Amino acid sequence: MIMTNNRCPWFGIVAASLLFLVTGTFAQGKPNILYVTFDDMNDWVGVLGGHPQIQTPHIDRLAERGVLFTNAHCVVPACSGSRAANWTGLNPVNNQVYGNGQRIERTMPDAVMLPKDLENQGYVTFGTGKLFHGNNEARFTEYGPTYNKWWPITSKETKILKSAIQTGGPYVKHYIPRLGITLPLNKMPRDRNKGSTTIESFDWGIIDRPDEEFTDTLCVNYTIEKLNQKYDKPFFLGLGIYRPHQPLWVPKRFHDLYPSESVQLPEIYQGDLRDVPEIAQGFGRYAVTSGSHKTTVEWGQWRNAVSAYMASISYADAQLGRVLEALDASPYADNTLIVVWSDHGWHLGEKEHWGKFTGWEPSTRVPLIIVPPKNAQPQGFKPGTRTNLPVTLLDVYPTVMDVLGAKKRKDLDGHSLVPLLMNPNAEWDHPAITAIGRGTWSIRDSQWRFIQYFDGTRELYDLENDPEEWRNLVQDKQFIGVVKRLSKHLPVDNNWKHFVRYGEFKAIVPTDGSPILLYGPAESIIYESKDVSKKYPDVVKKIEAYLKENKISRQRVNIN
């Protein structure tokens, strides 16, 4: 089924709560909203217990003020798809952004985004940092500093680096005199994008420079500046904190928190991928969104990478703390909705994987905290509440509109979280659904994870008894009922007639009769980074012939 804006069974309670919200906020004016997103932050934060050594005091304290969604998941485990879903309120079936290979400005150039929706309802909107995956500035009334993931390396210095790569220069020995460093800091060879002329971002290490030379600090400075100003309208203030996105470069004092020799590595099960489908093994092992686990281990960099990732989380947490302190000292402290989320998770060796874009827990689970305005809280709301009911970032848009008392679009695909703000144990029959490329879906409820790949192969995990997802139970007959129940929630994407796996290729046959889309071989089969149908016409012909000769009616096809 296509996910739609179905009325939830708590509609009557929600309506009553909204009446309270509107009544409570008119005297103070409409609530403002502070909307903060992290990039690539997994569940390694204190309140989620993802890593026992992590230090995130500001995220932890924020959770004490609102509702922490301990079972929150991204809609797409990649920047472009996740942000497209969050900002439009539409799932990939409807916005056609399944990963970083697609951009919302191309698939839906006239899409209504959350900032513009609120601006049309009387809000002034500000943004800074990485909020969308693409053009940011045009979507806000005013836009502050954007992000630059290479800072403190300057634009001039990155041009020199790119030039060195283009002319065959020794990138691994490239010295930057001003900083006294040689890139890459981890001294590892490139094992993704081989032959590329771009700088490799799968890097970590210490660049001992002042905070102001890291763009997240500048973006937070702008956010604090906006909180110190006066407005005659309610405001939407969006802050995109880029770290812990790679390269994992943050001020030295954060690296000092995590000496590499003492950090605890993720628990790994050797042979973890033996019981998963072949396509899932590729999701784990291919170096697509980051380098490979194999290379990281062989070069003795696993501990250093984990240390740097944790340092990056603590840096991001410290930046959030600065903003919260400024908000609390401002005139807007009691009349501002706070929403904090990460666009997706990140593997650090689990499932033999580094990076994102898998259907497993490290890739999909994200921090999500919502703090209603102090002077307009839903009835029943209690600070410091947790809920383990499954939610997704798609649910944030309708929640924001409800809490602000704004007019809500009828086409939103998510479900308002107001019932869970009122009661963390409310009736809730909405599993978290994540898309990993066209035709592949991961479904998470309070106990189980079910994955169905585009070729029809499957996985099933009992997260209560197997939180690391080491045992694929999909072939166990005693769990047939679980598979059947979760399968009912699989979205039906009627834009595609067939999803075909043919060796190292993935073919997608549109329903409108347009040409086959072909991706592959190897890594591209997963990320759908480039349609290679013109490069491999023989493969396209074989797939077309097979479908015609065998009169295939099913949507998922695996050609051996």
Q: Which of 8, 51, 58, 79 is catalytic?
A: 79
Longest Cα separation, the chain: 71
Distance of CA 499 to the CA centre of its chain: 24
Q: What is the DSSP letter of 190?
A: P
Q: Which of 51, 133, 344, 498 is catalytic?
A: 133
Give the H or E element holding residue 441.
Answer: strand 441-444
Between the CA of residue 294 and those of 286, 291, 349, what are the distances in Å?
10, 9, 9
Amino acid at 69: F
Q: How far apart are CA 139 and CA 119, in angstroms?
A: 10
Measured CA angle at 358 (ends 352, 359), to 5 deg: 120
Phi, psi of 60 (to 5 degrees): -60, -45
Per-position DSSP letters for 108-138, written without gaps between them: -TTPPPHHHHHHTTT-EEEEEES-SSS--GG
Amino acid at 467: P
Is the sign of the CA dihedral 437, 440, 444, 449 positive or negative?
A: negative
58 given a catalytic annotation: no
415 given a catalytic annotation: no
Distance of CA 271 to the CA centre of its chain: 27
Q: How far apart are CA 318 and CA 232, in angstroms?
A: 30
For 518, residues 6+ apart whose C-beta sits below 8 A from its C-beta are 505, 506, 507, 508, 531, 532, 533, 536, 539, 540, 543
Amino acid at 493: D
Between the CA of residue 285 and those of 68, 192, 259, 354, 435, what are the distances in Å?
32, 11, 28, 8, 19
List the catalytic residues: 79, 133
